[in-house]
């Protein structure tokens, strides 16, 4: 069995729908699907879009091989051989549009758009959602942590608690996009060029006759990269004093110890006392690293208590997004080919938040040219020209349309970039460092009230009047 071929990384109902389209002769009809999420994660004011690079790799490698066909042949549906041959020849031949990785994004706006044969568009749904949902969630969590420790070093330490190997490496990448400085995962470091950092485990200390001996031998082994874990026995009575002895030995060799690490106990108190001990011994340059189930809330509290921590190792609660373990992104049909053109379609639900917005659409970020700040994200039907012509636009709440404002002096930044055109990759994937810089620049576009960690002001995501009227028309048409 091949683990590298992700073509069957899909739900069975996708294959069944593809089979029905094939039987009914509708497999080549075009369709437009949009990917979005309905609610911002963690109660945050924004999310950070991530996952595009893996989605591109997945789409480029779509191919049913012999193993996949043999597996489908054994299914209880008894798919016809001609259908299996159709699958064998499938490649992505459609168009893909997406916001760029690192972009700050919001609820109920299209983040990806798939325009393709229905046969292809159904196949890619599950994998696209899986990749986008997870990586966007982790990037958003990492951005929240970065907000409370903007000037500190942040290390991603989550591999051993991640949900398997793929989650560990792609979570490390998503964290790096959002401002983390390094990862403990060597494979993520090798694959993506992320700096890899690490210290030593408690077992290193336990495996020697004394803590001092363990520290000394470790320093002899890696004299230029010495960070000592000081809480194996007693942090203040033995760990820090022994680390101070090693710092002295290193100075005699013309070297400097990097840091000590705290991994348990009262991190605020222990860091304060350790800082005092290190400073009094003349080692003010030795940093203090902290770990132990940290997240943005705990880090914020430790800072408010005056903790003397320079570097934060964040693991479980980051890589698993512990307080909200899923994003909830959806993949919805918004238009279908009929008589040679696209007909908008809508999903109506008893839950108002689940009513989709119909039509093939575009997404703009409206920048007030007087302030240089974002006023709203603006969703139009494809082909509307009033935005590009800089005509005055009305920004109104689609739920409460009486809440509105007009804006005439603006720049409209198109957020959906074309990634694939007729199956060909036309977008140049940026480097990870370029994505990090782009992500950091994003924050300059927003007022602080939209970015704060708690009780963020809701940022506007508005429909054009034409898009809003289309949605209202289809709701009325399908009411019973």
* pLDDT tens, position by position, 394-448: 998 777 878 889 999 999 999 999 999 999 999 999 999 999 999 999 999 999 9
CA distances from 348 to 16, 107, 167, 398, 476 (A): 23, 18, 34, 16, 10
Query: So what's the pLDDT on residue 310?
Result: 98
The count of other CB atoms within 10 Å of the CB of residue 153 is: 17
pLDDT (tens digit per residue) in 349-381: 888 889 999 999 999 999 999 999 999 999 999
User: How much is the pLDDT for 480?
Assistant: 67
- Complete domains list, the chain, with CATH: 12-139+325-478 (3.20.140.10), 149-319 (3.20.20.70)
Q: What angle in degrees, to the nearest 10, is found between the helix axes of 118-148 and 296-304? A: 10
Give the Cβ contact number of residue 389 at 10 Å. 8
The pair of three-digit structure tokens given for residue 12, joined into one six-digit string: 């069975």
How far apart are the C-alpha atoms of 189 and 195, rounded to whole Å?
6
Q: Going by DSSP bridges, is the β-strand pair 182-183/153-156 parallel, antiparallel, or unpaired?
A: parallel
What one-character-per-residue DSSP string does 212-277 give? HHHHHHHHHHSTTS-EEE--SS-IIIIIHHHHHHHHHHHHHTT----EEEE-SS-HHHHHHHHHHH
Task: Tell me how far apart the alpha carbons of residues 169 and 296 are, in angstroms, rounded to a whole number.
Answer: 21
User: Quick check: 218 and 228 in contact, CB under 8 A?
Assistant: yes
Long-range Cβ contact pairs of 298-303 (< 8 A, separation 24 or more): 299/145, 299/148, 299/149, 300/148, 300/453, 302/267, 302/268, 302/271, 303/148, 303/149
Looking at residue 411, what is its pLDDT? 96
Q: How far apart are CA 183 and CA 187, in angstroms?
A: 10
| Full pLDDT tens readout for the chain, 480 residues | 567 899 999 999 999 999 999 999 999 999 999 999 999 999 999 999 999 999 999 999 999 999 999 999 999 999 999 999 999 999 999 999 999 999 999 999 999 999 999 999 999 999 999 999 999 999 999 999 999 999 999 999 999 999 999 999 999 999 999 999 999 999 999 999 999 999 999 999 999 999 999 999 999 999 999 999 999 999 999 999 999 999 999 999 999 999 999 999 999 999 999 999 999 999 999 999 999 999 999 999 999 999 999 999 999 999 999 999 999 999 999 999 998 899 999 999 888 889 999 999 999 999 999 999 999 999 999 999 999 888 999 998 777 878 889 999 999 999 999 999 999 999 999 999 999 999 999 999 999 999 999 999 999 999 999 999 999 999 999 876
> What's the rounded Cα separation, in Å, for the pair 343 and 359?
7
Instruction: Decide if 59 contacts 92 (C-beta within 8 A).
Output: yes
């Amino acid at each position: 069995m091949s683990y590298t071929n992700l073509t069957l990384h899909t739900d069975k109902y996708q294959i069944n729908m593809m089979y029905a389209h094939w039987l009914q002769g509708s497999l080549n009809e075009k369709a437009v699907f949009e990917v979005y999420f309905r609610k911002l994660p963690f109660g945050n004011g924004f999310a950070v879009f991530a996952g595009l690079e893996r989605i591109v790799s997945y789409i480029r490698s779509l191919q049913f091989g012999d193993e996949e066909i043999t597996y489908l042949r054994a299914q209880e549906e008894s798919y016809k051989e001609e259908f299996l041959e159709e699958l064998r020849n499938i490649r992505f031949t459609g168009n893909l549009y997406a916001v760029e990785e690192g972009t700050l994004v919001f609820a109920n706006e299209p983040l990806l758009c798939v325009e393709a044969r229905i046969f292809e568009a159904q196949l890619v749904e599950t994998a696209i959602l899986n990749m986008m949902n997870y990586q966007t969630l982790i990037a958003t969590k990492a951005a929240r942590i970065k907000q409370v420790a903007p000037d500190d070093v942040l290390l991603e330490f989550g591999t051993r608690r991640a949900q398997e190997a793929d989650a560990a490496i792609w979570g490390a990448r998503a964290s790096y996009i959002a401002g983390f400085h390094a990862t403990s995962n060597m494979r993520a470091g090798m694959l993506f060029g992320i700096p890899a950092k690490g210290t030593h485990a408690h077992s290193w200390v336990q495996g020697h006759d004394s803590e001092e001996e363990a520290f000394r031998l470790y320093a002899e082994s890696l004299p230029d990269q010495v960070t000592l874990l000081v809480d194996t026995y007693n942090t203040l009575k033995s760990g820090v004093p022994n680390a101070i002895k090693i710092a002295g030995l290193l100075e005699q060799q013309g070297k400097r110890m990097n840091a000590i690490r705290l991994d348990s106990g009262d991190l605020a108190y222990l860091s304060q006392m350790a800082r005092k001990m290190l400073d009094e011994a003349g080692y003010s340059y030795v940093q203090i690293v902290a770990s132990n189930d940290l997240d943005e809330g705990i880090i914020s509290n430790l800072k408010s208590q005056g903790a003397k921590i320079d570097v934060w190792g964040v693991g479980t609660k980051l890589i698993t997004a512990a307080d909200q373990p899923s994003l909830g992104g959806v993949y919805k049909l918004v238009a279908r080919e009929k008589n040679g053109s696209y007909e908008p379609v809508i999903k109506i639900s008893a839950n108002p938040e689940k009513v989709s917005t119909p039509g093939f659409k575009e997404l703009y970020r409206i920048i007030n040219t007087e302030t240089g700040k974002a006023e709203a994200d603006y969703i139009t039907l494809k082909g509307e020209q009033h935005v590009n012509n800089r005509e005055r636009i009305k920004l109104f709440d689609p739920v409460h349309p009486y809440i509105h404002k007009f804006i005439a002096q603006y720049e409209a930044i198109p957020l959906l970039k074309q990634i694939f055109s007729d199956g060909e990759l036309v977008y140049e994937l940026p480097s990870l460092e370029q994505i990090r810089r782009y992500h950091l620049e994003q924050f300059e576009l927003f007022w602080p009230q939209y970015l704060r960690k708690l009780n963020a002001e809701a940022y506007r995501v508005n429909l054009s009047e034409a898009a809003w009227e289309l949605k209202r028309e289809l709701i009325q048409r399908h009411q019973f």
